[in-house]
Amino acid sequence: MANISNTTESASSNLMARALREAFYAGLVALGLFVLFVGLKTDQNILNELILVQRWGLLAIFVAIAAVGRFLSVAFIRPYLEERKAAKAAAPAQEAGFVARNFSMIAVIVLLLYPPVMVYFFGFQGSLKWVDNFGIQILIYVMLAWGLNIVVGLAGLLDLGYVAFYAVGAYSYALLSSYFGLSFWLLLPMAGIFAALWGIVLGFPVLRLKGDYLAIVTLAFGEIIRLVLINWTAVTKGTFGISGIAKASVFGIWSFDVSAANNFAKSFGLPMSSAYYKIFLFYLILALCLITALVTIRLRRMPIGRAWEALREDEIACRSLGINTVTTKLTAFATGAMFGGFAGSFFAVRQGFVSPESFVFLESAIILAIVVLGGMGSLIGIAVAATVMIGGTEMLREMEFLKHIFGPDFTPELYRMLIFGLAMIVVMVWKPRGFVGSREPTAFLRERKSVSGSFTKEGHG
Amino acid sequence: MEYFVQQLVNGLTLGSIYGLIAIGYTMVYGIIGMVNFAHGDIFMLGGFAALIVYLLLLSLFGGVPIALALFIMIIVAMLMTGLWNWVIEKMAYRPLRGSFRLAPLITAIGMSIALSNFIQVTQGPRNKPIPSMVSSVYDVFGISISLKQIIIVVVTAVLLTIFWYIVNHTPLGRAQRATEQDRKMAALLGIDVDKTISITFIMGAALAAVAGTMYLMYYGVIVFTDGFTPGVKAFTAAVLGGIGSLPGAVLGGLMIGLIESLWSAYFTIDYKDVATFSILAIVLIFKPSGILGRPEVEKV
């Protein structure tokens, strides 16, 4: 008995010694990493020359955080996680709860009630921020990610230039509405069709490419479209962008232009506010999202959707069974692009302004990250990932209280993308298969069982 | 004719920088089959390290001979980025090795975003201009060649030779090539695979740091977003040459440099990147695995 307690004691003292040693190394590595970039800051003096400003205190904080973090991780967090993992493996699998079973239903109801609830709590003016910055912003990314999911998640074609189709949609609405005065409801389908055509145009030459070659060419196409938008100033006005894009109307019945006779607020005798338009836009993007989801769910059960997933699983088997891989790939590109186009024209209507700056590679990367973080192919997982990543970074804009802690010079917005990037890494290392790790099969024998995400392939293309 | 040769010289200089970065992409791809999207930002980090070392030397010793300053800048930048890439590989890529293919790609993109914003936060978002370090220009048969260009081409050539020797004639290079061919078999034969992969990352980062120092010296300015465009161009170069192939990376880099400078000279400068990317697409349509890449054989 005494023997056993002795070994556990020495094990824990060993652990402490190891943790201290690792903490020391971590501090040393952090010192090496940050000594130039944090310890010294390049700054311009009055003569516009670069000078160095010393910040050794900040460097010490960085090193201390690294050392303490490493110590805690080795000494406490890791043993705890392993214990929990063992406990979880021992416990029997639980039945999914009510919320988990009806998650999508509940989510849709919550989203339908979201604007009135926000108006109730914050008033019309106060709800603007919550409906526009959070609601609409997140839903745009949900829609884009669901669109890209068709290409990457279902067909297994890695597309790094998805933002190009978003740009095509946005510019086709912006240009056609400002040059020809066409309405949003006419241009929304047209933007989708244009984007789908571009999807085919871009998809055709890359049919033979695979894997990373496909990735770089799609990235290149995304950049080409952006560069053309910047440089073709006669039509696109270059980096100045197109401003004053017409607002959408409620199917032409009520308008949101202040001067129009059929103004929404005037028709109902309500006080003037810009909140009505935002709430209308919220329901519009929600409807577009639901259409995307519905189409994706239905397509998965149709021959074309099955062909996409077969293509992802094994291209050679696919071909030998007589599936036309050319049309399969092209329809995947075109369908994905079409939803990107819809989202783009919605974006143009919402902003009232488009410029090439909104369509940089970073956007493609964010959309792809949402798809992968959510769990490729899982619509709910992707929606959760979009909410966490986009909502989380938007939240940083709201954290005024941090100014009281770190002083008035502290601007949380500055750290937004830094935290976004780090969050991408942390989530991916923590859950490499994404938030939702199981997939619903569409073809099954007698009983539908969910399949672990690690059994689905990610495609070669 | 002179104009053409002049552009050829400019393109060669630019291409050397791209080639140095492209090697990092192609080596990492060859050894673990992953596109290291953060590599462009490692290059930018190297440039910043060189900048800070240069300012430090100036403030500590007043004037330093340029050759010595450049040498110290290159060495410190190489050590710095090597350490960074070693840590990055350990923290962001190693836990996902053997996981599915897109996972490390996403962490690499996240790392790229984090690195450029880290520099923005710690060093400020402004351009960082330095006074011209090397300004001599020689006139050779009516073509003006600056000392900067000579330094870049010579440093690149020397490094590539050293590098080629390491990969082809040392035990380390043999371990790298073995790991590249078959990781499991290499491990069975007693090669420390983790260490080999770490060293590959450090080597790639060191070359990127040299490229970053050269970039800083050539253009005299650096900013935190500078990782993206050269990074994408270098990646394009690696793919164009056939990703995984070392001579291919250099060849691709030189090609991209030449396309860019010749296009800017004879057509419009606005569309030079469009030209680069279009040529990439066209080459890949006819040679789907790059110029020197081996075609993938599918085993069923």
User: CATH number, domain at B137?
Assistant: 1.10.3470
- Please give the residue that has the higher pLDDT: either A304 or B98: A304
Give the DSSP letter of residue A51: E
Q: Cα A121 from chain centroid?
A: 28
Query: Structure tokens of A117?
Result: 């609830």
Pair A9, A49: CB distance under 8 Å = no
pLDDT score for A402: 66
Where do the domains of chain A lie? 2-89, 104-455
Residue B300: inside a domain, yes or no?
no
Phi and psi at residue B64, in whole multiples of 5°? -125, 140
Residue B136: inside a domain, yes or no?
yes
pLDDT score for A13: 76
Please name the residue that has the structure tokens 């501090």: A27
pLDDT score for A1: 43
Residue B181: inside a domain, yes or no?
yes
pLDDT score for B39: 92
- Strand A451-452 relative to strand A438-439: parallel, antiparallel, unpaired? antiparallel
pLDDT score for A339: 93
pLDDT score for A85: 81
Q: A457: pLDDT confidence band, cut at 50, 70 and 90? A: low
pLDDT score for A211: 73
Pair B212, B49: CB distance under 8 Å = yes
- The H-assigned helical ranges of chain B are 2-32, 39-61, 66-88, 102-123, 147-169, 171-181, 183-188, 193-219, 228-241, 246-266, 272-286
Mutate which of B79, B107, B259, B296 to disrupt the A interface (most A C-beta within 10 Å)?
Answer: B107
pLDDT score for A9: 62
Nearest to B111 among A213, A372, A425 (CB): A425
Q: Which residues of chain A lie closer than 8 angstroms to B120, CB-CB?
A: 414, 418
A59–chain B nearest CA distance, Å: 11
Nearest to A205 among B37, B80, B285 (CB): B285
Low-confidence ranges of chain B (pLDDT < 50): none
For A411-438, the pLDDT digits (tens) are 667 788 888 888 888 888 888 777 776 6
C-alpha to C-alpha distance for A66 and A68, rounded to whole angstroms: 6
Q: Which residues of chain A lie closer than 8 angstroms to B49, CB-CB?
A: 36-37
Mutate which of A393, A418, A419 to disrupt the B interface (most B C-beta within 10 Å)?
Answer: A418
Number of domains in chain B: 1
Q: Which of A117-126, A359-368, B127-136 has the lowest mean pLDDT?
A: A117-126
pLDDT score for A2: 46
pLDDT score for B46: 93
C-alpha to C-alpha distance for B78 and B207, rounded to whole angstroms: 7
pLDDT score for A95: 60
Containing domain of residue B132, as a range?
2-286
CA atoms within 13 A on the CB side of A72: 6
A229–chain B nearest CA distance, Å: 11
Query: Structure tokens of A258?
Result: 């202040």
Cα–Cα distance list, A411 to A400, A419, B121, B147 (Å): 9, 13, 10, 44
C-alpha to C-alpha distance for A444 and A446, rounded to whole angstroms: 6
Burial of A107: CB neighbours in 10 Å, binned 0-12, 13-18, 19+: middle
Cβ neighbours around A237 below 10 Å, total: 18
Q: Determine the average pLDDT of the residues in A80-100.
A: 73
Give the DSSP letter of residue A250: B
Pairwise CB contact (< 8 Å): A209 & B288:
yes
Pair B237, B22: CB distance under 8 Å = yes
Pairwise CB contact (< 8 Å): A37 & B123:
yes
Strand partners, B137: B146
pLDDT score for B83: 93
The torsion defined by the Cα of A98, A102, A104 and A105, in degrees rounded to 10, comes to -120
Residue B45: inside a domain, yes or no?
yes
Cβ neighbours around A378 below 10 Å, total: 24
C-alpha to C-alpha distance for A389 and B146, rounded to whole angstroms: 48
C-alpha to C-alpha distance for A393 and A397, rounded to whole angstroms: 7
User: Is residue A122's pLDDT more than 80?
Assistant: no
Q: Which residues of chain B lie closer than 8 angstroms to A148, CB-CB?
A: none
User: Is residue A387's pLDDT more than 80?
Assistant: yes
- Please give the residue that has the higher pLDDT: either A455 or A249: A249
Is CATH 1.10.150 the classification given to domain A104-455?
no
For A282-298, the pLDDT digits (tens) are 888 899 999 999 999 89
**Percent of chain A residues topping a pLDDT of 90:** 9
For A150-164, the pLDDT digits (tens) are 988 888 888 888 999
User: Is residue A251's pLDDT more than 80?
Assistant: no
Q: Which residues of chain B lie closer than 8 angstroms to A431, CB-CB?
A: none
Residue B294: inside a domain, yes or no?
no
Complete DSSP assignment for B125-175: SS-EE---S---EEEETTEEEEHHHHHHHHHHHHHHHHHHHHHHHSHHHHH
Nearest to B92 among A206, A316, A425 (CB): A425
User: Is residue A59's pLDDT more than 90?
Assistant: no
